[in-house]
Structure 1
Amino acid sequence: MKKLRRVMAHLLVVILTLTSMSMTSIVTSASETVDARAAITIDAETGQVLYAQNATKRYPIASVIKILTLAVIEQDIAQGKLKWDQKITISKDVAKVANDWHFSNVPLNEGESYTVQSLVESMMIVSADGSAEALAFASAGSTAAFNKKMQAVAREAGVTDAKIYNMIGLANGDLGAQRLKGVSKEAENQLSAEDVAKIARYLIDKYPSVLEITKQKFVNFQVSENQQYQMVNINSMLPQNAAASTHGEVEGLKTGMTDSAGNCFVGTGIFNGRRLITVVLKVPGEYNNQFKVTDAMLGLVLDKEHYLSVNKLSDFKKGVQSVIVTHAKGKGVKTVPLTIKKPVTLWLGKNVNLKHADVELILDKNKRTIGGHKLRAPVKKGERVGVLRVHVAGQLGAENVDLPVYATKTIEKEKGSWF
């Protein structure tokens, strides 16, 4: 379906849900909703969900899918299959899409060659569909082959149930001869807000240099020897722009807009010293509302939550610093102190501190004895043995956050062990 050129009808705001660090949803009050069909905010480093609204249901996401397209191209470059300065020659089919104003914002001439770098910039800065196609075909040769690569990278990012059809974000039929065969022409990529956040987190973590591309406001694109096109970033949340965030500095990532998807946006930036990732899907009203709604969601999070550093297990209440290890029938019970490997940032409600948190030690299945409360030997120093599940009420995000814990010494099996 062709990209919107008009105001979308207002939509009924859906029930607010919250998700845990593992993105399990819970419900909160309607007063904390944002004006979007689905939305989520996560901490980019830890993955902790700070806000979630209808975040696990799949919806069309339009050109937001290009963050996954970019992740595949970045992987190809990392593996030496593509190079940033490599030139890609434009086919007749790609030129047709690139020069159709319904689909693309940057013209590409049939037979002309463009670098991977310039095609990526145009795909991410002005959402050029022809550029996305050119990159995908250079990577895999066809929509179907590139789709397999997209599916594989999505799984690496932790996304397992998304509906992924093409690299652009259009309906399958809009790709013409390059569409997926045996798939409805109306089929569109469908991901949840949670899925999009996972892919964005994967992209930023694995290929942080993408932000050097997405934070650019103006970039020149050399269409031909005699024609240059100045691209203006369509992300209005970038600093000093009309819809710049009032809470921090946004550096990317991608807008999206079709009739079925509505106004969508996945963003990232630094807020109160932390990198956050935001997603809003189908924001009603005029273009730019997706940025206003994103900023409202950020304001809600920062107004109601704060973050603290967990440096050691004693930062929580007593009773979670050690675990019993049993290794011999009827004897040989020992205590092993536990630790976290490095400080972990935890977001809590504004009036909540670590001592308020209820914690529960959950041992890994392959290490625990029957009943689940003791470890069985052998246990190696530095080995992960379970998670400390932190239960925190009074915040917009997760009530349950899992912190991995590790043994601080080795306990070998003794003679006569029954394990």
Structure 2
Amino acid sequence: MKNFFNKGLLIALLLAFTAPAIFPQQAQAEESLTIMAEAAILVDAESGKILYEKNAETPLGVASMTKMMTEYLLFEAIEEGKITWEQEYQVTDYTYRISQDMRLSNVPFREDGSYTIKEMYEAMAIFSANAATIGIAETIAGTESEFVRLMNEKAKEMGLEETTFVNSTGLSNSSLMGRHPEGTKETDENIMPARSVAKLTKILLDDYPEVLETTKIPVKLFREGTADETRMENWNSMLPGLIYEYEGMDGLKTGSTDFAGYSFAGTAKRDDTRFIAVVMGAVDNKGAGSYKARFDATRALFDYGFGQFTTEEIIPAGYQFEGQETLTVENGVEKEVAIAVKEPVTMMIRTADKELHQPELLLDDSVVQDGKLEADVEKDLVVGTLELKKAEGVEYGYLSGSSNKVKVATTESVERASWAALSMRNAGEFLSSLWNDAGTFVKELF
């Protein structure tokens, strides 16, 4: 008996220690993920699915991440033929004075110099050059003030919530030597929430992926081979070959001011998976903002994404809902029609969470009335959508705001029955009803 007890105790202890390995528990990794930043967000770049967020809807200083909007408007202007890469910009007194301020990120302009849009763009995208950015804004819109109006207009068009641009660079207006854009105040700052920064990043990558050809350059010489040659080391130190390099990193934009702290909108790709990570107001473990802190926070987000998430097929094409495989067809040759999911449902997901997502059928009330369709019914008629619901844990949704819905449609057509057929069916149903009523009456007699 004693030996049996000892063996039982030993087995119980072994199970206690090995159970987590044998029966892995549903670890809520996002709850244990510590991101040392005022706000942060991690997004699947393809679908826009949010995988993690912290304080992501709070408007904060955006600093030079602002330049992503300037880049977008530049690519758009070139696409529309309004300007060209070879077009020359003549330096103004304003851009000259800004370019000579070495407290700011800049390539120095000559007072009487002219520069192509292409070389100013590279200076902006690689070295966050502020005078070059203002020069691009003036070229596109005539004045930086008008360009700021275009920036805010485009922000509304993109659905960037809680976003306000007051200049083209992301500098504090107080750094612009009293030449801040008309209609703004010297105390004004560019403001965005992390979620809107991520959305802007995704739209830029979706519409103009060629931006990465420049943002991935670690070092480039401005005006190489001339007396004005300036070494531009990319502020994104997570690029290959730089001090905090990270596998797959190829963009996109850093930002730092006294107001905004240290921020970064980064993107990295491995195989077919690309993530977008945004950190704002990054700090170290002592609570101090630093150049390195923003990259440490970004690394933690990317490690979480690449380490925990894969794209999985959750629901196959042709999936039918148990107990809702068909819909009633009124006045059809057939009384029912089968319905099924048209396309497979794939989603960026933590493998451990796959079984937590359950399909739910949402019928379209404008098509399906009281659970019925009226003949004629065409094949592939969309009758509703499948939406995945997570049984437990955090579900952050998508940058677009829409959930992962796919169409549910009829799998065959059902023609409308002829008048004669409908008459016979109605007569049959009437007689069947009478017979059932008679049977019930007889049963009740006994």
Interval of TM-score (by shorter of Structure 1 and Structure 2): 0.7 to 0.9
Change (3 A) 1:313 1:263: same
Question: What are the residue-to-residue correspondences of 1:74-89 with 2, within 5 Å?
Answer: 74-89=75-90
Partner of 1:362: 362
User: Equivalent residue of 2:311, what SS?
Assistant: strand
What is the 5 A alignment of 1:244-393? 244-245=245-246, 248-271=247-270, 273-284=272-283, 285-310=289-314, 312-313=316-317, 318-319=321-322, 324=327, 334-340=337-343, 345-353=346-354, 355-363=355-363, 367-369=366-368, 386-392=384-390
1:216 corresponds in structure 2 to 217
CA distance 1:181–1:270, change in 2 (3 Å): same
- Name which of 379, 395, 398 aligns with 2:396: 398
Q: Secondary structure at the match of 1:227?
A: coil
Q: d(CA) in 2 for partners of 1:348 and 1:214? A: 28
Q: How does 1:5-404 map to 2 (within 5 A)?
A: 31-176=32-177, 178-222=179-223, 226-245=227-246, 248-271=247-270, 273-284=272-283, 285-310=289-314, 312-313=316-317, 318-319=321-322, 324=327, 334-340=337-343, 345-353=346-354, 355-363=355-363, 367-369=366-368, 386-392=384-390, 398=396, 401-404=403-406
- Pick closer, same or farther for the CA change 1:123–1:278 going to 2, 3 Å: same
Question: Which letter does structure 2 place at the counterpart of 1:279?
Answer: V
TM-score (norm 2): 0.75
CA distance in 2 between partners of 1:48 and 1:339 (Å): 21
Q: Please give the secondary structure, in 2, of the residue aligned with 1:52.
A: strand
Q: For 2:29 and 2:388, how far apart are their aligned partners in 1?
A: 19
**Deviation sequence 1:247-301 (CA, Å, 0-9, x none):** x310000000001111000011114630110100000132121111111122233
Q: CA–CA distance in 1 between the matches of 2:326 and 2:181?
A: 54
On the 8 A contact 2:173/2:186 being kept in 1, the answer is: yes
Deviates more, 1:388-397 or 1:248-257: 388-397
Shift of 1:161: 3.0
Change (3 A) 1:173 1:347: same
Change (3 A) 1:383 1:298: farther
Q: Which of 1 and 2 has higher RCO (CA within 8 Å, sep 6+)?
A: 1
Q: Which structure shows the bigger proportion of residues in strand conformation?
A: 1
Opposite residue 405 of structure 1, the aligned amino acid is K
Structure 1 Cα separation of the partners of residues 89 and 412 of structure 2: 56
Q: Mark the runs of 5 or more structure 1 residues left unpaired by the alignment.
A: 1-26
Matched-pair contact (CA < 8 Å) for 1:314–1:321? no
SS in 2 for 1:119: helix
Answer 1 or 2: which has greater helix percent: 2
Q: Greater CA radius of gyration, 1 or 2?
A: 2
Aligned partner of 1:6 in structure 2 is: none
Task: Give the deviation of 1:350 after TM superposition.
Answer: 3.0
Distance 1:173-1:240 versus aligned 2 partners, 3 A rule: closer
Q: How far did 1:160 drift? A: 3.6
Deviation at 1:412, TM superposition (A): 9.2
Structure 2 gap segments, 5+ residues each: 1-27, 284-288, 419-446
> Counterpart of 1:40 in 2: which secondary structure?
strand
Quote how far apart the aligned CAs of 1:177 are. Answer: 5.5
Separation of aligned partners in 2, 1:327 and 1:161:
49
- In 2, Cα distance between equivalents of 1:242 and 1:177: 36
Q: What secondary structure, in the 3-state scheme, does the structure 1 residue paired with 2:237 have?
A: coil
Rate the CA distance shift 1:303–1:375 in 2: closer, same or farther, 3 A. farther
How much has 1:183 moved relative to structure 2? 3.0
Alignment CA distance shift 1:52-1:386 (3 Å): farther
Measured after TM superposition, the shift of residue 173 of structure 1 is: 3.9
**Deviation (angstroms), 1:63:** 0.2
Change (3 A) 1:406 1:148: farther
Deviations 1:199-225 (CA, angstroms, capped at 9, x unpaired): 100001111110000000121211895
Greater shift in the superposed pair: 320-329 or 273-282: 320-329
Judge which range, 162-171 or 215-224, deviates more: 215-224
Q: Kindly state the Cα deviation for residue 244 of structure 1 after the two structures are TM-superposed.
A: 1.4
Aligned residue type for 1:268: T
Separation (CA, whole Å) in 2 of partners of 1:320 and 1:154: 45
1:74-95 deviations in Å (ceiling 9; x for gaps): 1111111111122111111111
What SS does the aligned partner of 1:279 have? strand
- Aligned AA (1:109): R
Partner SS, residue 240 of structure 1: coil
* Counterpart secondary structure, 2:139: helix
Q: CA deviation at 1:73?
A: 0.5
Deviates more, 1:100-109 or 1:48-57: 100-109
Give the CA RMSD over aligned residues.
3.4
